[in-house]
A = this chain, B = another copy of it.
């Protein structure tokens, strides 16, 4: 009945045939006078999702996780993964070739310092590392008496016979009724920032920023409508947009022509070198700018200062049209998720429903909106113990029946008017007192964020602990941030603001973030309650001395009332929950059929102290 178009359930391949590939790499290294090479999981833009052509790490090592790196020396090799992936790496990699190392505790530079020999020549692709990463590698090499060698050509072209072609996803215009601000206006603001930074030009290396600036979207990577592209914005004069011409229809080309000189990506190095030769100052994004970009500018004598991408904050602060779009997208998404939850409650009773069934159904309900462009990430559907695995992805092999207990489902959609991301944890049959008690602690944290009022200038790091205090009191916590920024028909993980210990960016009105505290009991169940929230001006307060902000929930889906221990909520918390549910019912009911509407009425019925 249902099916998933945007997500596969294939098991990760095991036991890759790495031996001949590593051998081919070593032969190629020897040919080039190198004694080692580092292979990150990265493309030229430091993207979260990378195109198949950039899956060098997976091809070489068999490891298919979303973060990692390998170092191949002549007599040894190591694969670096973080705690999430240790098990998976051991299953996927050939352990007779690769030692598995911890990406965070023993990162490549540290490992290199200990394993390189004096005189070694370690190669790296300067397009796949940002400047900071390259500097760390260089330092490690120096410490070991070795040399770091930039290899401009892509070594893998020579050794990867059936390498996929780079993607050529068509570029589409992002209509003003979604974008809300003309590209010309955005470019004027960006030029103002370039002036403030005392630079002659800015390289946009983050394709999200390219997409936002020029009001375009693409389809080069999964789940995020990105066009892989660079741009170069001079303080004065016409910008250049570096994008493969085969991605541009005549219509798109026509619309973009007045905004930018449309150039092939192969022209970028020469253009940067020319600016360098003219001793210009070209500003780079410290996070996404490849080391190669900096080298192209500085080699002929230019300056390439790095810092936060000035576009990141502009993009994070949504304009009124984007905000209206986000509200519409969340209403639409809420209808789909409510239909799913009603279906789930009915069908799970059979005791036969699986995690994959749930993922397929949810995507199908979303496709029923006729507006779904993609899911915003692979749905995390965790029944029982699988819910305790924070980054769980169901496969045919791990697929579990949704049996009595808790079921956690974290999912999102890409609509042209907005990106969604929602987690609900629902009771299947009877829940235990412990589950309800912990669910309620997570809920209290969620409500503490939702109800927070805070002065302008407050950072996400200052907000994050409010979500944890009730868990802390019980000796519990969750091992991830409380929230991340979310794009507007862009990435579901968007900087620079976040609700976490590391959230040093001030929260500004118009930013959209997730509010997703959780609790995970390994081997038993997981709890997470996630709404997206919009930073808004707080309602006026008599006597206030500072401009105040607050959060407005965008997500409109009931929170499972059967899991709430009412006695643990304060009057204010109960009031918030009942208010939220009343709003969910009011906004969604008109768009539901009678059966779903009846379910919604019950699911949003006010809770009252007995």
Q: Please give the residue numbers on chain A whose beta carbons come within 8 Å of chain B beta carbons, in ascending order.
A: 434, 452-455, 458-459, 461-466, 468-469, 472-477, 501, 538, 541, 543-546, 548, 570
Contacts and interface: CB of A to CB of B under 8 A. Distances in A.
A473 B452 CA distance: 7
Contact of A501 (B452, B462, B469): B462
A463 B477 CA distance: 14
A474 B455 CA distance: 10
Contacts of A461: 461-462, 501
A188 B465 CA distance: 38
A474 B543 contact: yes
Given A461-B461, A475-B544, A544-B476, A469 B452 contact: yes
Contact of A466 (B459, B469, B501): B469
Nearest to A459: B501
Contacts of A453: 472-473, 475
A548 B466 CA distance: 17
Given A472-B455, A472-B548, A463 B465 contact: yes
- Total copies of the chain: 2
B546 A477 contact: yes
Contact of A475 (B466, B472, B474, B543): B543
A461 B454 CA distance: 16
A475 B570 contact: no
A476 B546 CA distance: 7
A466 B459 CA distance: 14
Contacts of A469: 452, 466
Contacts of A474: 541, 543-544
A508 B459 CA distance: 25
Given A458-B472, A462-B468, 15 more contacts: A452-B469, A453-B473, A459-B501, A461-B461, A461-B501, A465-B466, A466-B469, A475-B538, A475-B541, A475-B543, A475-B544, A475-B546, A475-B548, A477-B545, A570-B570
Nearest to A471: B455
Contacts of A465: 462-463, 465-466
Contacts of A545: 475-477
A474 B454 CA distance: 9
Nearest to A438: B543
A455 to B, nearest CB: 5
Contacts of A548: 472, 475
Contacts of A541: 473-475
A474 B545 CA distance: 8
A476 B455 CA distance: 8
A71 to B, nearest CB: 24
Residue with the highest number of chain B CB atoms closer than 10 Å, among A464, A476, A570: A476
A458, A461, A545, A548 interface centre (most CB from chain B within 10 Å):
A545
Contacts of A472: 452-455, 458, 548
Contacts of A476: 543-546
A142 to B, nearest CB: 14
Given A462-B465, A466-B465, A475 B455 contact: yes
29 contacts: A452-B469, A452-B472, A453-B473, A453-B475, A454-B472, A455-B475, A455-B477, A461-B461, A461-B462, A461-B501, A462-B468, A462-B501, A465-B465, A466-B466, A466-B469, A472-B548, A474-B543, A474-B544, A475-B541, A475-B543, A475-B544, A475-B548, A476-B543, A476-B544, A476-B545, A476-B546, A477-B545, A477-B546, A570-B570
A467 to B, nearest CB: 11
Contacts of A570: 570
A461 B501 CA distance: 8
Nearest to A540: B475
Contact of A462 (B452, B464, B473): B464
Contacts of A475: 453, 455, 538, 541, 543-546, 548
